[in-house]
Structure 1
Amino acid sequence: MRLSLAAAAFLMLVAGSASAQDVTPPGFRLPPIAGGPMTPAKELFGRVAHPSEGPERSIGFYSNGCISGAATLPLTGPTWQVMRPSRNRFYGRTKLIDFIERFSRRVTTNTSWAGILIGDMSQPRGGPMLRGHASHQIGLDVDVWLRQMPPQVIPMPQRETIMSTMVVSEDRRGVNRYWTPDTMQVVKDAATDPQVERVLVNPAIKKAICQQARGDRSWLEKVRPNWGHDYHMHVRLGCPAGERSCRPQRDVVPGEGCGSVLDYWFTDAVLHPQPGPSPRKPPPPFTVAKMPGECAAVLSAP
């Protein structure tokens, strides 16, 4: 099969690391794949168009699992809009859908924002993605852009190309002029929701929050520094109570996470990493056989 230049460029992105807000070429569709024991799991889960039938469950861990009976977030709501809809990553647990609705309403009450822009959630049946994430596999993760939703509905073609707002300074050590009190309030509104377990942000954003937060600072415990996350925050919910198929993450480290504990993130070795002496040997493909056993059934279910 011959591919267009745009599609070929996209496949190059798929093969390597890519930004979570990369633009998909118009009209691009993944070619069919027969599949086999050594086919990477991401190639199979990335091609499923619809959630499975059956009861709603998260199976496995955030970075190695799948979803049965996933719920769908409407692409447009009164206080949210889904970006990059062509990726088909707007699925999750019902508790995640409920959180987005609740959180987005709270943002409109506590800030001047008209609502929030939603990035990636999970694929229809979860599982590993072709690009952009290691987690987001069990329907309990959502990326929220650090750019306010406009009061009008964004046309679908524009949702594929509009970029989010970078709020981290060029030297990666602080925030820029696009970081505002409203932006911090949005992070706080997510972190103070009782269903939220973690909010992942760029270390420079965490440092700014440590410097600027006033009053009750207990919510800072949930805000964790992580690579990237300079134009969006990654919100993670905990496993549903009593659901043994969902493997929880360790509890967050107690305390605000400010001061000297952040120093590591701003060392020269972290901010300006040097390439290794020789290319690393690529790991073997991550196949469905390496996932929780029930995920094979979820993948093939009607």
Structure 2
Amino acid sequence: MSSVRRSLSLIATLVLCACAGGADTNIDGTPLPDVDPATLQNIAKGQFGAKRRASAQAPAPLGGYARGCIAGAEQLAETGPTWQAMRLSRNRNWGHPELVDYVQDLSRKAAAQPGWAGLYVGDMSQPRGGPMLTGHRSHQIGLDADIWMLPARNLTLSAAERENISSISTRRANGAYTNSNWTRAHHEIIKAAASDKRTARIFVFPGAKVQMCKDAKGDRSWLRKVRPWWGHHYHFHVRLNCPRGDSACVNQSPPPPGDGCADAQEWVNNILNPPPPKPRDPNAPAPKPRRELRVGDLPQQCAGVLASR
């Protein structure tokens, strides 16, 4: 059996074990969705998911956050002075060196908050980025990271403990409000993350953005980068800008001008009082199911990333 087939077989086994109640779960402890092992070798997520190490290339994010890959990724150490990488079995603690440096910087700032020894770091990217076997559509170019809302008080968790511990939810009323788990420390950590010039966006549930808008004093410019999005109450999602000079990396359009607080309030209003659904045009064609990405759908350089030793 070739090394590629062995890797795909291992990945398929891991996925099936996860969906049967094994260790690979979401940060709230729920199992990840199933993946058909028979299709893995024909789609991009199967091929990128089979790679256990980064490519032997210079670091470069290639393509966009939801359609790309990363050459020469760096691995975030499983444990550091102020962080621990979680769910190690997923092998998703990889990213562009700038992301690794950013996470370490943010963890030191988090350690200055009462009750926090640092950060629990969730999914970053796979060793060569690309579409993931389960979960995210983004996180493909080594510039995205999920930071757990659970205060990191114990930085000596074993690998087994990191598989089984769950983060905490900080929302109530379907995302319209924060709950009692939300603290000023969450506000300050997200503020520190958004204030870093490398940050493009931070995604968090709408109620958290509204709460931060209410509590923010003085300079409010950092709030522009904090964007409301569904979910994101067990973690917040950091997205970095493309590193300067990396022309093959595709930035997302910048957030609209302003602090974005009115937009977040509109999200909350729609949660509390949902607008009536728009009538569907009976003559409109039914939406097509999203097709799985193939390697050919990604930037041309990604084939070389896969082929690299």
1:295 paired residue among 268, 278, 302: 302
Partner of 2:139: 136
Superposed displacement of residue 176, structure 1:
0.3
The one-letter code sitting in structure 2 at the alignment partner of 1:173 is: A
Residues in 2 aligned to 1:23 and 1:78: alpha-carbon distance in whole angstroms: 29
Task: Give secondary structure in 2 for the equivalent of 1:143.
Answer: strand
The one-letter code sitting in structure 2 at the alignment partner of 1:215 is: G
Superposed displacement of residue 258, structure 1:
0.9
Change (3 A) 1:96 1:86: same
Q: Normalising by structure 1, what TM-score?
A: 0.86
Residues in 1 aligned to 2:286 and 2:20: alpha-carbon distance in whole angstroms: 21
The one-letter code sitting in structure 2 at the alignment partner of 1:200 is: F
Change (3 A) 1:9 1:67: closer
The answer to whether residue 202 in structure 2 is matched with residue 195 in structure 1 is: no
1:69-88 matches, within 5 Å, as 69-88=72-91
Percent identity of paired positions between Structure 1 and Structure 2: 39
Residues in 2 aligned to 1:57 and 1:281: alpha-carbon distance in whole angstroms: 33
CA contact (8 A) 1:220 1:256 kept: yes
CA contact (8 A) 2:200 2:225 kept: yes
**Runs (5+) with no aligned partner, structure 2:** 1-8
Superposed displacement of residue 20, structure 1:
5.6
Superposed displacement of residue 289, structure 1:
0.8
Residues in 1 aligned to 2:40 and 2:269: alpha-carbon distance in whole angstroms: 46
CA contact (8 A) 1:81 1:118 kept: yes
The answer to whether residue 212 in structure 2 is matched with residue 209 in structure 1 is: yes
1:73-110 CA distance string (max 9 Å, x none): 00000000011110000000111111111111112124
Superposed displacement of residue 54, structure 1:
1.4
The answer to whether residue 255 in structure 2 is matched with residue 252 in structure 1 is: yes
1:118 paired residue among 121, 132, 138: 121
Change (3 A) 1:146 1:270: farther
Residues in 1 aligned to 2:286 and 2:157: alpha-carbon distance in whole angstroms: 43
The one-letter code sitting in structure 1 at the alignment partner of 2:307 is: S
Residues in 2 aligned to 1:33 and 1:280: alpha-carbon distance in whole angstroms: 23
Q: How many residues get paired?
A: 290
* Cα RMSD (Å): 3.2
1:15-49 CA distance string (max 9 Å, x none): xxx84655679xxxx969783xxx12111111111
CA contact (8 A) 2:58 2:72 kept: yes
CA contact (8 A) 2:149 2:234 kept: yes
Partner of 2:3: none
Superposed displacement of residue 12, structure 1:
10
CA contact (8 A) 1:265 1:271 kept: no
Residues in 2 aligned to 1:138 and 1:260: alpha-carbon distance in whole angstroms: 28
The one-letter code sitting in structure 1 at the alignment partner of 2:210 is: K
CA contact (8 A) 1:70 1:91 kept: yes
Task: Give secondary structure in 1 for the equivalent of 2:172.
Answer: coil
1:1-302 matches, within 5 Å, as 7=16, 10=19, 19=26, 22=29, 35=41, 39-259=42-262, 262-267=265-270, 281-302=288-309
Superposed displacement of residue 7, structure 1:
2.9
Partner of 2:4: none
Superposed displacement of residue 279, structure 1:
8.2
Change (3 A) 1:269 1:263: same
**Runs (5+) with no aligned partner, structure 1:** none
CA contact (8 A) 1:23 1:160 kept: no
